[in-house]
Amino acid sequence: MQVKIAAKTKLPTPFGEFELIGFETESGQEHVALAMGSYTDGAPVLTRVHSECLTGDALFSQRCDCGPQLEAAMQKIADQGRGIIVYLRQEGRGIGLINKLRAYAEQDKGLDTVEANEILGFLPDARDYRVAAAMLEALSVAEIRLMTNNPDKVQSLTDAGIKVVERVPHQVAASPHNQHYLATKTKKFGHLL
């Protein structure tokens, strides 16, 4: 998979100033990376690969742990003064925003995340991390310390040529609204929570 850097700008945040880097894929998809400090010196870079979650990241939904995970990653990077967040535009485990809302409606009826996606005709998780690897390569990053609880993400990035030298646990506090979701991530996706 090939990507190109399409734009760069500064992004001041409550966690400090990041460089916001826009990427385009061959098929016209757009993704971004938030970078802080030096990351091209060859040392492993603290990295979070985060899939877009409009409901969690921007609308503060408590159905998931996405928003708090994004904020925690930004804080960890700010604390170290160095790191990258690869923000992938693959909403709803890759099924898109409207289908994600449809999956939420199925979850309201008692299904879990996996069952809801499958009843709608989708894979439990349709995300593709090859674009994340291509973005890191475009930034001259070959070795990372990956903030994740998802062993599949570690394997996918490794298979795509990124050396994951350490999995950094990235757990945030649960809420009464996302306990079933987190249990499903552990039981059906093998997340290390």
Annotated catalytic residues are: 125, 127
| 107 assigned to a ligand binding site | no
| 31 assigned to a ligand binding site | no
User: Is 81 in a helix, a strand, or coil?
Assistant: coil
Q: Which residues contact 27 (CB under 8 A, 6 or more apart)?
A: none
Q: Which residues contact 99 (CB under 8 A, 6 or more apart)?
A: 92, 120, 122
User: Is 55 in a helix, a strand, or coil?
Assistant: helix
| 29 assigned to a ligand binding site | no
| 69 assigned to a ligand binding site | yes
| 66 assigned to a ligand binding site | yes
DSSP tag of 160: T
Nearest residue to 70 (alpha-carbon basis) of 55, 90, 56, 91: 56
| 10 assigned to a ligand binding site | no
| 55 assigned to a ligand binding site | no
End-to-end CA distance of the chain: 31
Q: Which residues are annotated as a binding site for Zn(2+)?
A: 53, 64, 66
Q: Which residues are annotated as a binding site for GTP?
A: 48-52, 69, 91-93, 113, 148, 153
Q: Which residues are annotated as a binding site?
A: 48-53, 64, 66, 69, 91-93, 113, 148, 153
